[in-house]
């Protein structure tokens, strides 16, 4: 027993020396909607992230159980469950990153915009609390329709006087994850090496994967590119239909959400060259919000990168998506300002 104890304490000492927590800053991450289909696996994935020191799990019900469960995983972060609006402030206080997968998901036959009436109200109230309790946090918006919920959040923050356009992100990472998976299949490339930027927004034709910029390069036919584009745009619907009434993407979304939050944390910690696609305030097009590659830094968005060279097919897609995206943005702004 003695030798085991001394060995473990010496290896602990070594670990402290080489990967001491001194060099990894304390970071609090809050997940709002943490008991849901996305929230639960996302809570688990964030628990596995060594950059997180405190993990706050908030929902209107069910979070004590999720927190007790995830909290037993022997990784760095301390997990606390918060339930009900009375505890929202405590969940948010001191957060560096707030991830929002709260709200209802789609059922077969629904568009993301059909979720607007319920989710817009949820996002508005959660963002009002963020402005009050953690106005400096980076906000990762997952709740749909992202094309409208991000503008709603911006308006809420503007009214509260806390808006910082560098700190508000619509999470479109799942579109990138899907584009990479589908492209790797057709290009016969190792999926881990594949990169595909996805621009525009996060609904139907507003999702525009730029396969002309995909790496590694592959000589795919025009038909294949058209089919890949459509499959990426309809990826969410593919899952909604397969789940047949039991919701939309949760596991792949949790993965994508965890990837994006990790990129935000790395940026905050000063890791150089962290680039992800995200739906942010933008001047890349004439629209006030737009998804494109974004460089992440110590204050959130360090720079919004340009679109690069587009093929004729992509240029056409870009012009086609603008009216729909514009309308969704305006719908969000109007909602936030009407009440």
Active site positions, annotated? 202
Cα 134 to Cα 230, 239, 256, 280, 282: the distances in Å are: 39, 34, 24, 19, 23
Contact flag: residue 250 with ligand NAI (CB under 6 A): yes
Rounded to a whole number of angstroms, the minimum distance from the CB of residue 132 to ligand NAI is 15
Structure tokens at 301: 């968005």
Nearest to 240 by CA among 39, 105, 102: 105
Indicate the helix (H) or strand (E) that contains 100.
Answer: strand 97-100
- Candidate segments 54-62, 76-84, 186-194, 308-316, binder of ligand NAI by CB under 6 A: 54-62
Using rule CB under 6 A, residue 142 touches ligand NAI: yes
DSSP classification of residue 74: -
| Binding test (CB under 6 A) with ligand NAI, winner from 38, 301, 318, 329 | 38
Do residues 99 and 261 touch, judged by C-beta distance below 8 A? yes
Query: What's the CA angle centered on 239, arms 324 and 113, to 5 degrees?
Result: 25
Site string for ligand NAI, 220-239 (x = CB under 6 A): --------------------
Cα–Cα dist 288/128, whole Å: 21
What is the C-alpha to C-alpha distance for residues 330 and 182, in angstroms, rounded to an integer?
32
Binds ligand NAI by CB under 6 A, chosen from 43, 57, 171, 228: 171
Closer by beta carbon to ligand NAI, 119 or else 229: 119
CB of 218 to ligand NAI, least distance (A): 26
Q: Does the annotation list 17 as a binding residue?
A: no
Q: Hey, is 81 helix, strand or coil?
A: strand
113 is a site residue for ligand NAI (CB under 6 A): no
Residues with Cβ within 8 Å of residue 282, at least 6 apart in sequence: 288, 289, 290, 292, 304
Question: Does 41 contact ligand NAI by CB under 6 A?
Answer: no
Of residues 28, 31, 36, 153, which one binds ligand NAI by CB under 6 A? 36
Contact 148, 332 (CB under 8 A): yes
Q: Is 6 annotated as a binding residue?
A: no
If the CB atoms of residues 35 and 225 are measured against ligand NAI, the closer one turns out to be: 35
Shortest gap between Cβ of 169 and ligand NAI (angstroms)?
11
328 binds ligand NAI per the rule CB under 6 A: no
Give the DSSP H or E segment for 48. Answer: none
Burial (CB < 10 A; 0-12, 13-18, 19+), residue 317, is buried
Q: Is 119 in the site for ligand NAI (CB under 6 A)?
A: yes
First to last CA, the chain: 66
Q: Which is nearer to ligand NAI, 3 or 339 (CB)?
A: 339
E strands, 145-204, in order = 168-170, 198-200
Query: Minimum Å distance from CB 85 to ligand NAI?
Result: 8
Here's the x/- map for ligand NAI, 295-314, by CB under 6 A: it reads as --------------------
Binding site for ligand NAI (CB under 6 A): 32-33, 35-39, 59-61, 101-106, 115, 119, 122, 126, 142-144, 146, 171, 174, 202, 247-250, 253
User: Binding site: which residues?
Assistant: 33-39, 59, 106, 112, 119, 142-144, 178, 253
């Amino acid at each position: 027993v003695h030798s085991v104890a001394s060995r473990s304490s010496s290896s602990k000492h070594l670990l402290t020396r080489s990967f001491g927590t001194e060099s990894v800053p304390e970071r609090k991450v809050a997940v709002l909607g943490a008991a849901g289909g996305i929230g639960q696996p996302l809570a688990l994935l964030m628990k596995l992230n060594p950059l997180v020191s405190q993990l706050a799990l908030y929902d209107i019900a069910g979070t004590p159980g999720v927190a007790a469960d995830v909290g037993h995983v022997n990784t760095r972060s301390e997990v606390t469950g918060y339930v009900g609006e009375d505890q929202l402030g405590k969940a948010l206080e001191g957060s560096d990153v707030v991830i929002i997968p709260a709200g209802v998901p789609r059922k077969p036959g629904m568009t993301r915009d059909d979720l607007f009436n319920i989710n817009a109200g949820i996002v508005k109230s959660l963002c009002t609390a963020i402005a009050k309790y953690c106005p400096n946090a980076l906000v990762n918006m997952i709740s749909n329709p992202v094309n409208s919920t991000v503008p709603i959040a911006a308006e809420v923050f503007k009214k509260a006087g806390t808006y910082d356009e560098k700190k508000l992100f619509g999470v479109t990472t799942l579109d990138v994850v899907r584009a990479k998976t589908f492209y790797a299949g057709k290009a016969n490339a190792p999926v881990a090496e594949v990169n595909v930027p996805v621009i525009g927004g996060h609904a139907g034709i507003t999702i525009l994967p730029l396969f002309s910029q995909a790496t590694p390069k592959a000589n795919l036919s025009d038909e294949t590119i058209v089919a890949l584009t459509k499959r990426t745009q309809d990826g969410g619907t593919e899952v909604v239909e397969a789940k047949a009434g039991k919701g939309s993407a949760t596991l792949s979304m949790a993965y994508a959400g965890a990837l994006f939050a990790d990129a935000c944390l790395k940026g905050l910690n000063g890791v150089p060259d962290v680039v992800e696609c995200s739906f942010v305030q933008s001047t890349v097009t004439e629209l006030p919000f737009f998804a494109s590659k974004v460089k992440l830094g110590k204050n959130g968005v360090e720079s919004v990168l340009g679109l690069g060279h587009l093929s004729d097919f992509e240029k056409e897609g870009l012009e086609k998506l603008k009216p729909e995206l514009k309308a969704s943005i305006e719908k969000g702004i109007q909602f936030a300002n009407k009440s």
